[in-house]
């Protein structure tokens, strides 16, 4: 009895073992099939497929119509080119610049004539440039310019000594450039923002007004008047040159350090100096337009003293008070302060930008 029970239990245990082993094998095969199915892709593997013979097939571009429509569509697509940087002669703070591109190179003389007609009447200077593709540089344009360009740049100066541009100037300039571009079939130019440009002009004009200083001293005749011949002789001995503006100038390089003019009405001219007389002379330094204003002022005061000694006069201020060394030292310090402010603003006195902003 006991032996039969033991045999039955052993048989049941072996059957259970067989069932467990069989179930594990079934699960193992199921997981293997799932894994193979997960890594199998229905997409073609182009790296494993043989390459097609390039001469046995013709590549076709996608399109919306036939071959004629395809050709026309691609030929009409504009060629996108990067706009050149602004000309180096311009300054983003002081110029309103507009660039435009022509599909075909345009004769610069034709563009110059068009802009002269469209931009007439502006109160501030306008400069034009054409981009030389061969030399990769902007060329200033004028009535005598020749050649042809794809890119053009027009620049309106925002400020000079007469003040800043107003809305009328802005609209006349931007509208005129737009009409020039339209007339020559150029791509539409990117126009500047009106409010931003006018605000920039107002701020720059405010700064310029704060530092726009001219300082003068006078040499008055003790005995009634100076004669023109003596004035010419003394001025030339001191290295001054007679300019087209009717004044003598102390010139350094291309810049005028200070001027010597008639205190009375009437300009100096080569054909009238021998017969003229004057009760006094005035020497003026234009502070924003002169580099090294302190040294230039010292030279001006030395020249005034030399003229007074040679012609028989006295150096006085506008109130006819004697101009002594103490007053001269104070004024020199003020000149240096004004020019330091210009340096901090990145508009050094006597530099190219200052020469434009403080043009006479």
What is the percentage of the chain residues whose pLDDT exceeds 90?
70
CATH code matching the domain that covers 212-357, chosen among 3.30.1400.10, 3.40.50.300, 3.30.70.260, 3.40.50.740? 3.30.1400.10
Ordered by start, the domain boundaries in the chain are: 95-208, 212-357
Contacts of 110 (CB under 8 A, 6+ apart): 184
| pLDDT value of residue 33 | 44
Using the predicted structure, report yes or no on whether residue 303 has a pLDDT greater than 90. yes
Mean pLDDT value of segment 11-38: 43
How far, in Å, CA of 352 to CA of 15, rounded?
106
Q: In this model, does residue 24 exceed pLDDT 60? A: no
Say if 95-208 and 212-357 have the same CATH topology: yes
Residue 244 — pLDDT band, cuts 50, 70, 90? very high
pLDDT number for residue 41: 40
Global pTM exceeds 0.85: no
In this predicted structure, what is the pLDDT of residue 279? 95
pLDDT above 60: residue 334: yes
> Is it the case that residue 160 has pLDDT exceeding 60?
yes
Handedness of CA 50, 51, 52, 53 (dihedral sign): negative
Which residue from 89, 80, 204, 79 is spatially nearest to 153, judged by alpha carbons?
Answer: 89
DSSP string, 97-123: EEEEEEEEEEEHHHHHHHHHHHTTT-S
Average pLDDT for the chain: 83
Tokens of 24: 């594990």
Name the least confident of 6-10, 202-206, 244-248, 267-271: 6-10
Q: Which CATH number fits domain 95-208: 2.60.120, 3.40.120, 3.30.70, 3.30.1400?
A: 3.30.1400
Mean pLDDT value of segment 340-358: 97
Q: Kindly give the pairing relationship between strand 214-221 and strand 226-227.
A: unpaired
- pLDDT band at 53; cut points 50, 70, 90: very low
Q: Is the pLDDT score of 62 beyond 50?
A: no
Average pLDDT value for residue range 240-264: 95
pLDDT grade for 17, boundaries at 50, 70 and 90: very low
Q: What pLDDT, on the 0 to 100 scale, is given for residue 265?
A: 87
In the predicted model, is pLDDT for residue 71 greater than 80? no
261 pairs with which residues across the strands? 282
Q: CA 236 → CA 145, 242, 248, 267, 333, distances in Å?
A: 38, 9, 9, 16, 29
Instruction: Extract the tokens encoding 208.
Output: 């310029």
3-class DSSP state for residue 95? strand
């Amino acid at each position: 009895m006991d032996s039969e029970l033991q045999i039955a239990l052993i048989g049941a245990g072996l059957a259970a073992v067989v069932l467990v082993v069989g179930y594990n094998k079934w699960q193992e095969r199921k997981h293997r099939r799932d894994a193979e199915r997960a890594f199998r892709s229905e997409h073609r593997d182009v790296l494993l497929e043989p390459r097609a013979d390039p001469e046995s097939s013709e590549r076709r571009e996608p399109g919306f119509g036939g071959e004629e429509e395809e050709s026309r569509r691609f030929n009409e697509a504009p060629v996108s080119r990067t706009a050149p940087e602004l000309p180096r002669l311009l300054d983003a703070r002081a110029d309103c610049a507009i660039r435009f591109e022509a599909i075909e190179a345009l004769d610069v003389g034709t563009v110059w004539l068009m802009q002269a007609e469209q931009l007439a009447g502006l109160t501030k200077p306008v400069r034009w440039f054409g981009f030389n593709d061969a030399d990769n540089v902007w060329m200033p344009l004028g009535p005598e310019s020749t050649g042809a360009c794809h890119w053009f740049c027009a620049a309106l100066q925002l400020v000079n000594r007469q003040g800043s541009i107003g809305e009328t100037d802005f609209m006349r300039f931007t509208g005129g450039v737009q009409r020039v571009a339209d007339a020559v079939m150029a791509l539409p130019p990117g126009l500047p923002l009106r409010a931003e440009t006018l605000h920039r002009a107002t701020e720059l004009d405010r700064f310029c007004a704060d530092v726009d200083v001219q300082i003068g001293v006078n040499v008055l005749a003790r005995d009634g008047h100076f004669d023109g011949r003596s004035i010419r002789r003394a001025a030339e001995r001191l290295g001054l040159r007679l300019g087209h503006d009717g004044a003598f100038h102390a010139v350094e390089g291309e810049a005028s350090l200070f001027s010597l003019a008639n205190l009375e009405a009437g300009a100096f001219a080569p054909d009238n100096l021998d017969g003229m007389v004057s009760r006094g002379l005035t020497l003026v330094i234009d502070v924003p337009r002169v580099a090294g204003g302190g040294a230039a002022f010292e030279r001006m005061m030395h020249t005034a003293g030399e003229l007074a000694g040679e012609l028989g006069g006295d150096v006085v201020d506008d109130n006819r008070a004697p101009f002594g060394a103490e007053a001269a030292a104070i004024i020199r310090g003020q000149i240096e302060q004004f020019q330091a402010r210009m340096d901090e603003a990145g508009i050094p006195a006597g530099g190219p930008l200052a020469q434009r902003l403080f043009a006479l």
